[in-house]
Structure 1
């Protein structure tokens, strides 16, 4: 027991004091440690969102980069859900503090290993294991803070704990923005920025090592363990009691709606921004004569097909080229080479004919592959120019992805803070209802209307404010639904089984973008898919009439 941890009742006029003056040194220590654990946890999540697009482009994956990105996100979320359940139960049985330290070590280690991925599948394996730690940390961290804090300070402390998620996400955005000029200048060499992002994500392991001895278990948990009056962390007890079962199902549906909205739509705004602005940058490059460089590259390549192995190690995908016809020819050449067939102009034309090219396209591509008397430089020179141009463009896109993340999470910080205040004024249920409606509207606005650079500066923070405010509500509401012996288990069940149900959301978005709406082009496919998915916010709205109102009530024992 902690001698320096007096209960709130020891303050005779506690209700007249600001919440933060109710906290002693140990209260602050617990809040800071839990907040830092969650901050680094969310930094890891956001680094993944920033790195996902470039990683899928480099590592490949099934069907298409859009589908592969959705699948990798689903795998990460399944790990998150599994870790939340396993470590949530572990937090009830062996202690919140011990479990939180273990989860921080797990997500740090496997985030670092993600940097060394060589294929889509080992990358996804590392992300699954990272998810185990990420999911577990949230469940035990929230339970730890909820039980240590005085009753009146609890919703404020939990609100600030969740607000630290925005700081973690902003930190990830600054990491991305810091790497952008290095990428544009070619200072990172062949080691792509997304790998460096994951190496940065390994640093939180230091936090776990520094605090592991000073972090103690909550008095409520210790007293319950010592009394032996209830089984700790029992799923059977959670579902055996009608009230706790009802609360668990309601919390599960609320979480599923918000998690699909954020991870299945909102965090794919990074991909949307990269697609929209790539289109803008490519138009600028075409106006500056980029098509001439691409056509010269194709002309030289078909004259020296034996060098294709060397070339494809540097010009890794057709997207390095900007001219649409040059992209098509290079894609066909790579496919022929992979199949072990001769890469000749005739073979390329035949392959393109089978894909349904028009007569006009056939003529333009034939002219492109025909040798000319003009000297446009050696193949090596052309490859150098193309890779340099691509690094500059990727650097600009990395910068804008970072700006997107920064603004999204500035909005998120204020959204979480506002939810904390609004829910104290009008109650938990009305606050959730208002936020679900605003989240749906703002997300549809971003995916349907974002076009200009200026749009990022107001649409994205608005979406972040509305979407992530919901998660501030979860941090306050879920611990209020369950008694002490089931608090970590119940919270983790709502939040993490919700992730099991929500995990297909990113895959569904990727499928909609790549298959259902794929014929509309990359940018429009993201738009249609995102707006379609916004209907998931209505799920949370539909369950609210059945949810209990917990404002002003003590935690159930």
Structure 2
């Protein structure tokens, strides 16, 4: 019997949900929590790691350039991982491939601790992203196929919102490990091996979903061919999905992650303002060096606030999508995210005002990402669902990577030496591209998953 037929349509979304369905949501969410931790631990440690890893001949002004190259390597790895592992999950099953992805990102994150140069860090981040990109594609397809239609938006929003825990863990690692002079940034990557233990629970607890790729023996295994995504009615759905993901990922890495740095910059400015008039560059550098640990704590506080607001936004996307439709929810977050970014980076100033606004900024710039977990599985039939959802989300990473090269060039000495605030604001304008895509996006509210 189909899972939609077992659960009543009336009542709260969680009524009639079985224990096993909750287990699936918890395990998929934990995989995503650790997935995000593996990505965000670099964000939490990049200001300490990259000065050590750039070439000896490079100046400090080139650090943003090498940082953005490393971000770009991560995005490219995620693009490839989502496509490869999404297709493998359509061929070999969701559960088996979920195990492969968790093992890959756990081991590669641990190996990142042994980086001796920026290109080694970039290479390891590429391998991490192969696993994290694949995990998202497999887990979203798994949750979408296990939960009934009326609970799909809520369950997938909760799944995606669990990413907040991963970001909190990365922020905690930043305070307890990265900022600790007796430990340092490398230990944050070492603990990235811990999620490998999750695979034991996955293997013992999960089974292939009834609506998964193995449910219909008449459909050949491995039928999740990329070519199907670019034929017939699936072509428009694929292009819309890729476009939305590109906007979200480019603005995440080019705008959202710098919310914490805006707060740190305000704290630095307040400290420097206390120096006597006429203080030279060496005095300013000495003061900031003496404040390195408290500045790191402020930076991680900013990361915590942005992430907390973002988590609330992720949870809210589901009910908003049920109330106003998928397109309506995307519209609200794209327009709201643009306004919030311009306010934070161009208008609001001072430690306290920035501190208070960061949760709002996080809510509006991150909330749309839950829509990728809700919407993309609804666009594709069962035999290409993992392939389609993974391709949309992760090929968006591939297209977002050149935008981060641009961001690094804009901020670097070889480009325009643009302020971080101006670069983040410029990339936030991409939200308007997301708005322009919405008239072409099929509305899927209240519909069954395509068979």
Structure 1 and Structure 2 fold alike (TM over 0.5): yes
Structure 2 vs 1, CA of residues 439 and 418 (structure 1 numbering), >3 Å: closer, same or farther?
A: same
| 1:36 aligned partner | 30
Aligned equivalents of 2:117, 2:273: Cα separation in 1: 32
Shift of 1:419: 1.5
Asked if structure 1 preserves the Cα contact closer than 8 Å seen for 2:249 and 2:397, the reply is: yes
Q: Which among 221, 228, 235 is matched to residue 219 of structure 2?
A: 228
| 1:119 aligned partner | 117
Aligned equivalents of 1:171, 1:227: Cα separation in 2: 44
Aligned equivalents of 2:427, 2:279: Cα separation in 1: 36
Asked if structure 1 preserves the Cα contact closer than 8 Å seen for 2:248 and 2:369, the reply is: yes
Is 1:94 the counterpart of 2:63? The answer is: no
Shift of 1:417: 1.7
Q: Which among 539, 544, 551 is matched to residue 433 of structure 2?
A: 539
Asked if structure 2 preserves the Cα contact closer than 8 Å seen for 1:517 and 1:529, the reply is: no
Shift of 1:444: 1.6
Deviations 1:296-323 (A, max 9, x none): xxxxxxxxxxxxxxxxxxxxxxxxx842
Shift of 1:391: 6.3
Is 1:395 the counterpart of 2:393? The answer is: no
| 2:247 aligned partner | 257
SS of 1:555's equivalent in the other structure is coil
| 2:422 aligned partner | 528
Aligned equivalents of 2:277, 2:291: Cα separation in 1: 14
Please list, as runs of the form range in 1=range in 2, the aligned pairs for 1:79-228 lying within 5 A after superposition.
Answer: 79-179=77-177, 183=180, 186=181, 188=182, 191-192=183-184, 194-221=185-212, 223-224=214-215, 226-228=217-219
Asked if structure 1 preserves the Cα contact closer than 8 Å seen for 2:90 and 2:222, the reply is: no
Shift of 1:392: 4.8
Is 1:268 the counterpart of 2:264? The answer is: no
Shift of 1:109: 0.8
Gaps of 5+ in 2: none
| 2:366 aligned partner | 468
Deviations 1:234-279 (A, max 9, x none): 1122223x11111000111111111111112211334444444334
Is 1:421 the counterpart of 2:319? The answer is: yes
Aligned equivalents of 1:473, 1:165: Cα separation in 2: 14
| 2:442 aligned partner | 548
Aligned equivalents of 1:390, 1:204: Cα separation in 2: 36
Asked if structure 2 preserves the Cα contact closer than 8 Å seen for 1:517 and 1:528, the reply is: no
| 1:16 aligned partner | 10
SS of 2:446's equivalent in the other structure is coil
Largest Rg, 1 or 2: 1
Aligned equivalents of 2:277, 2:108: Cα separation in 1: 43
Asked if structure 2 preserves the Cα contact closer than 8 Å seen for 1:83 and 1:132, the reply is: yes
Shift of 1:47: 1.2
| 2:75 aligned partner | 77
Structure 2 vs 1, CA of residues 179 and 229 (structure 1 numbering), >3 Å: closer, same or farther?
A: closer
| 1:458 aligned partner | 356
Structure 2 vs 1, CA of residues 550 and 221 (structure 1 numbering), >3 Å: closer, same or farther?
A: same
Aligned equivalents of 1:207, 1:103: Cα separation in 2: 11
| 2:54 aligned partner | 60
Shift of 1:282: 4.2
SS of 2:367's equivalent in the other structure is helix
SS of 2:205's equivalent in the other structure is coil
SS of 1:201's equivalent in the other structure is helix
Deviations 1:74-114 (A, max 9, x none): 01111111111111111111111111111111111111111
Asked if structure 1 preserves the Cα contact closer than 8 Å seen for 2:309 and 2:361, the reply is: yes
Shift of 1:443: 1.2
Higher mean C-alpha displacement, 132-141 vs 532-541: 532-541
Aligned equivalents of 1:27, 1:392: Cα separation in 2: 52
Aligned equivalents of 2:348, 2:297: Cα separation in 1: 17
Higher mean C-alpha displacement, 201-210 vs 467-476: 201-210
Aligned equivalents of 1:108, 1:412: Cα separation in 2: 24
Question: What TM-score do you get using the length of structure 1 for normalisation?
Answer: 0.76
Aligned equivalents of 1:57, 1:48: Cα separation in 2: 13
Deviations 1:473-532 (A, max 9, x none): 1111111100000111110111011111111222211211224442x7xxxx11221112
| 1:306 aligned partner | none
Shift of 1:224: 4.0
Shift of 1:550: 0.6
Aligned equivalents of 2:346, 2:416: Cα separation in 1: 14
Is 1:482 the counterpart of 2:380? The answer is: yes
